[in-house]
Structure 1
């Protein structure tokens, strides 16, 4: 628990209004259930397990919670299955930006794999252009609704496929048009990041940014390869770095050399608590490594991963962390600044977001909290008198 646990503990409404920064969110894992139903009807997609939006949303969450990898992967076959046209991609990206903005997210990097959206006849360039258009539309609609958000795209290559260099080149062509970086995703075991060294070497030559899904299922070797062989800027998940940290019976903490390197180098960890529980990387929120990593001052960030499958949002993630670890507005600001520092946009733009949006937003909420506490104390004193 944070040492400031008795101070400025936020309410759910304050958590929602707090300026949050999201680095790890999958486009095909965040659709609205009603949108899945609409797009399936429009495209003639016949495989949905239910056409009632409420029941379908519940099915997605239960399938992701089932412990069955087959059922978990089936959830993505349905979302990707209805994202095969230009109009569908524009709509999903637009709604993604709107939903995140309504939840208080001011900056987000949303990832997707262009190679998974070609079944309807689109080319890779057309997929990227459609998603970028949707994000821009979503940003405009969010502003009209009184919310501020900036969304950058991360282009993902699948670990089991052989198109990573092609996708890296695609990301580089669109780097000033809404794409801010590159990623690889998919099963870690059997598909090490070193299979894609040509893509990472290309990106480094082009001075481009990339993150790698590592340290979620496969553990420390995956993290070591992502950092030392591939040169990743960030770790997608990275939660298994906890395996290189020992906590003795007396509470004394010892970091192994990899954990020390990750902390010393300020390598950002894209932690996704709810998703980590579903995949077995943590047994409960109380046992999630984020508590210890926060206490040890790793560059930890809070993320959603797949909002539909986990039935979550950034606000819900923070609500659970506040409840379990006693986190305060100060802690929320710490996580948010960490994430903004680690974003793949230019330094001056990151700094402007921190100084002009994130810090003022939390300062306002802390003043509001203090005013409420003062009013409450004054009211109690008057009642006692």
Structure 2
């Protein structure tokens, strides 16, 4: 059995649960959209230079500074045409990386500066995703892409966004999320939004346990009822060394593992924000060995200059994973998707397992 390499991982079927639309633009697209809308504040005037700027700026050591470069991508995503193009290209890029299922998230409330309504924003993105999926199928790289609508945790529109999630759930929106700086903005500020999602049997994930610790995870699960945790990397703070058993799980960590709460882990992004010091020191491997439901994700492909294949390859290099491990992480993600059970099972049994069997053979 040959060890996975970046080249072979690129052809393996992959599942992506945590990817931000406004963090995954092509640098050249940012330039062209800025020119179209008259946005003149970009820090570079060529695609390669702009890509380098985003990567360096995002490698900031804190979540708050990591989020600052998004002002440029959001600024050029204020028209239906721009939103459609960015969504379409996201599908193209993911399909080219052999992603077979993806949930891509964005915050509709950030795209209203030129007079669009929340509904118009969502419809433009969904149309881009739909057109992208048709093009990918025609090119022989079929992919399913669904949308998570995100509310900003420092703002006061979360109930509006939760209502959008329910209104559009039969048209491509699969769930709801809150994002933004964690410190000072606990998820319990948005209980009415989560109650709305539960009332209508909607799915939601919460950014928790990235830049803030165990209290953020506890609130997301105990008070808000999150289905998944965005990042969740700080759950490791509730795991201690035990001379007898090797590791001892605290009550919160045990709850997360016992209830199979999916962890949407984004290794490169966690290094950039200072959540961990390096990929080699990332708790992903510890959590994987302890059989938490870990999944591999990109977070922001532009800011982290990454793809899902590259994220997997970095984990292979750091921890020596083989094809069996990568298949497990992929199936973890597919099991955790906000997608009907029979369709999840079909992707696992008809696409993921057979193609990994060939790669591992």
TM range (shorter): over 0.9
Name the structure 1 match of 2:81. 87
TM alignment of 1:41-60, pairs within 5 A: 41-60=35-54
TM alignment of 1:259-298, pairs within 5 A: 259-298=253-292
Name the structure 2 match of 1:380. none
Runs (5+) with no aligned partner, structure 2: none
Normalised by the size of structure 1, how large is the TM-score? 0.92
1:345 shift after superposition? 0.8
Name the structure 2 match of 1:345. 339
Name the structure 2 match of 1:130. 124
Name the structure 1 match of 2:231. 237
Name the structure 1 match of 2:313. 319
Whether 1:336 aligns to 2:301 is no
1:82 shift after superposition? 0.2
Name the structure 1 match of 2:212. 218
1:71 shift after superposition? 4.9
Name the structure 1 match of 2:249. 255
Whether 1:25 aligns to 2:19 is yes
Correspondent of 1:360 among 351, 354, 359:
354
In 2, the alpha carbon distance for the partners of 1:160 and 1:66 equals 21
Name the structure 1 match of 2:60. 66
1:280 shift after superposition? 1.1
In 1, the alpha carbon distance for the partners of 2:304 and 2:200 equals 35
Q: Secondary structure at the match of 2:207?
A: strand
Name the structure 2 match of 1:377. none
In 2, the alpha carbon distance for the partners of 1:327 and 1:214 equals 26
In 1, the alpha carbon distance for the partners of 2:65 and 2:224 equals 31
CA-to-aligned-CA distance 1:3-57 (integer Å, 9 cap, x gap) = xxxx541122210000000000000000000000000000101110011000000
Whether 1:172 aligns to 2:166 is yes
In 2, the alpha carbon distance for the partners of 1:268 and 1:122 equals 34
Q: Secondary structure at the match of 1:308?
A: coil
Q: Secondary structure at the match of 2:155?
A: coil
Correspondent of 1:34 among 21, 28, 32:
28
Q: Secondary structure at the match of 2:205?
A: strand
Name the structure 2 match of 1:183. 177
Name the structure 2 match of 1:109. 103
Name the structure 1 match of 2:137. 143
CA-to-aligned-CA distance 1:252-281 (integer Å, 9 cap, x gap) = 111001000000000000000000001111
1:144 shift after superposition? 2.3
Q: Secondary structure at the match of 1:156?
A: strand
In 2, the alpha carbon distance for the partners of 1:267 and 1:71 equals 29
Correspondent of 1:305 among 295, 299, 307:
299
Normalised by the size of structure 2, how large is the TM-score? 0.98
RMSD over aligned CA atoms reads: 1.2
Worse-superposed segment, 175-184 or 134-143: 134-143
Computing the radius of gyration over CA atoms, which structure comes out larger, 1 or 2? 1
Q: Secondary structure at the match of 2:78?
A: coil
Runs (5+) with no aligned partner, structure 1: 1-6, 368-385
Seen in structure 2, the aligned counterparts of structure 1 residues 355 and 255 have a Cα distance that, compared at 3 Å, is same
In 2, the alpha carbon distance for the partners of 1:255 and 1:248 equals 9
In 2, the alpha carbon distance for the partners of 1:276 and 1:336 equals 20
| Contact 2:60/2:274 (8 A) holds in 1 | no
In 2, the alpha carbon distance for the partners of 1:329 and 1:314 equals 15
In 2, the alpha carbon distance for the partners of 1:296 and 1:114 equals 37
1:67 shift after superposition? 3.2
| Contact 2:207/2:230 (8 A) holds in 1 | yes
In 1, the alpha carbon distance for the partners of 2:316 and 2:136 equals 27
| Number of positions where the alignment pairs a residue of Structure 1 with one of Structure 2 | 361
